[in-house]
Amino acid sequence: MSDNGHGAPLPPRAVIFGCAGLEPSAWERSFFAETDPAGFILFQRNCQDPDQLRGLVAALRDSIGRPDAPVLIDQEGGRVARLRPPHWRLPPAAAVFAGLYAADPERARQAAWLSARLIADDLAALGITVDCVPVLDVPIAGADSVIGDRAFGEIPDQIADLGRQVCNGMITGGVLPVIKHIPGHGRALVDSHTDLPEVDSPLAELDATDFAPFRELCDMPVAMTAHVVYKAADAEAPVTLSEAAIRTLIRERIGFQGLLLSDDLSMQALAGGLDDRARRAIQAGCDIVLHCNGEQEEMEAVAPAVPRLGPEAAGRLQSALDRIPAPEGQQGFDAAAALARLDELLAT
């Protein structure tokens, strides 16, 4: 942890990094200590078993001297789950809850909350404090399958309803949710991991559909951007790199004032060098950028392009961390009973 020369700690750098393997290498420990990232993100390559993963989480935080540094993961359920059997239960995909909602909305709400609460229980036991869920994207017919069964259906009100339950279950379990991919990825005809999606729908239509679930959950502490061009706001740049789109769509029309993370800078929807992508994302209004793949050369390019958190972004990060309840509040949760009830609800 760095200080300002007077003993007070400096805010961390506005980046969250991944790491390459099951434990930090000597180079990674040194690099993280020097660059002081805001936190870390984990992928399946980092997750072998509970003891190993707890050790990795602790070692990452130790490398920057901040025991409360956020550690993120994508544990949605279904095909997007970094923790998998045999050591961890595989949660259901969002589409399972959407199917139940059509028959019985109240049972679906209970099931979504319980599923999120159980995921949070798994994550909190490992020291992981942020889960990049829920997906609030509204898919349309003909869209790329990258969202698909990760969505809570195709009706904005339903998506918002189930997304709210997931957020509440996560926070109750001591884990911060991240609403994604703001302002929406559901109209993308291509996968932003490999290409740049463009949306030319009018704002009135977007307000009524794509933006609606995000607006309903704009009180959540953290959101992740979509690498999608919204031509109604900026015909050239994807939201992540567009000051106009972040300001007009996310901050003003949707009303989200929490901590804004970029999606992964390494995704091919973004053009230019990694340093340029990082610099542009921060200038556009992302509070923190994500770099996920753990590749040394890319991280060395990103780090010097990213400043330390400014006062506003640091305040948003602290406000988000303050939403995590004290550990005492997690006591008394009966995971076995919760899982039995979830199975009962889903068997309907």
* Distance, CA of 236 to CA of 19 (rounded, Å): 32
Nearest to 323 by CA among 156, 120, 182, 159: 120
Q: What is the pTM of this model?
A: 0.95
200 is catalytic: no
SS3 state of residue 62: helix
How is residue 239 written in tokens?
């939201």
* Distance, CA of 213 to CA of 2 (rounded, Å): 39
193 is catalytic: yes
Q: pLDDT (tens digit, 9 = 90+) per residue, 152-181? A: 999 999 999 999 999 999 999 999 999 999
Mean pLDDT of 303-325: 96
In this structure, are residues 228 and 185 in contact, taking their beta carbons and an 8 Å threshold?
yes
* Distance, CA of 320 to CA of 176 (rounded, Å): 8
Domain segments of the chain as ranges: 17-346
Q: How confident is the model at residue 192 (pLDDT cuts 50, 70, 90)?
A: confident
Choice among 122, 137, 149, 263 that is catalytic: 263
Choice among 193, 195, 207, 276 that is catalytic: 193
* Distance, CA of 288 to CA of 282 (rounded, Å): 7
Q: Mark out the alpha helices in 65-104 (DSSP H runs).
A: 94-103
Maximal CA-CA distance, the chain: 62
Per-residue pLDDT, 191 = 77
SS3 state of residue 249: helix
Those residues whose C-beta lies under 8 Å from the C-beta of residue 334, and which sit 6 or more positions away, are: none
Per-residue pLDDT, 4 = 58
Q: Which helix (H) or strand (E) holds 226?
A: none
Q: How confident is the model at residue 332 (pLDDT cuts 50, 70, 90)?
A: confident
* Distance, CA of 42 to CA of 73 (rounded, Å): 5
Q: pLDDT (tens digit, 9 = 90+) per residue, 271-303? A: 999 999 999 999 999 999 999 999 999 999 999
Q: How confident is the model at residue 6 (pLDDT cuts 50, 70, 90)?
A: low
Domain over 17-346 is classified CATH 3.20.20.300 = yes
| Residue 25 C-beta-side C-alpha neighbours within 13 Å | 10
Residue 134 has pLDDT above 70, yes or no: yes
Q: Which helix (H) or strand (E) holds 19?
A: none
* Distance, CA of 19 to CA of 45 (rounded, Å): 9
